[in-house]
A = this chain, B = another copy of it.
Amino acid sequence: MANQPGSFTSETLAKAMDTNPVVIRRIMAGLRDLGYVRSEKGHGGGWTLACDLSKVTLRDVYIALGRPTLLAMGNRTEAPGCLVEQAVNAALDQAFGDAEALLLARFGEVTLAMLGDDLRKRLGSRKLQGMSTHHA
């Protein structure tokens, strides 16, 4: 979006990412609520960037998207009655917490501007090779 002026409709974005407009709206809603993008209805409406890309990190995006689960395992239940589960939780809670904290810290080190710069480099070499323009 930063590489092209103007606003983008959910439908345009959906086509670029090979998905559905409603899925785009669902995801963008979180970003809009935190002010990273703006949405306009009606003619000429759509989505526009509304933040300094060098100030917003992947951590901010992660939070805007509702802090989805980072770890595939971890406590199944907060206060398990099973004593074995309690013992395992006691032994690993710290580890899971540390792993999450590590990931969040790293997310915080990556700004959208950095991703944009890297993407532009990749776009440059793409033009020389004629690759697809689709996103995932």
Contact = CB atoms under 8 A, between A and B. Distances in A.
Interface of A: 58, 68-73, 76-77, 80-88, 90-92, 94-96, 98-99, 102-103, 106-107, 110, 114-115, 118-119, 122-123, 126, 131-132, 134-136
Contacts of A94: 106
Nearest to A84: B135
Q: How many copies does the complex hold?
A: 2
Dominant SS at the A interface? helix
Contacts of A76: 136
Contact of A134 (B82, B114, B118, B135): B82
A83 B123 contact: yes
B87 A119 contact: yes
Contact of A81 (B68, B103, B131): B131
Contacts of A87: 115, 118-119, 122
10 residue pairs, one from A and one from B, having the closest CB atoms: A95-B106, A82-B136, A87-B118, A83-B122, A69-B72, A82-B135, A99-B99, A85-B136, A87-B119, A91-B110
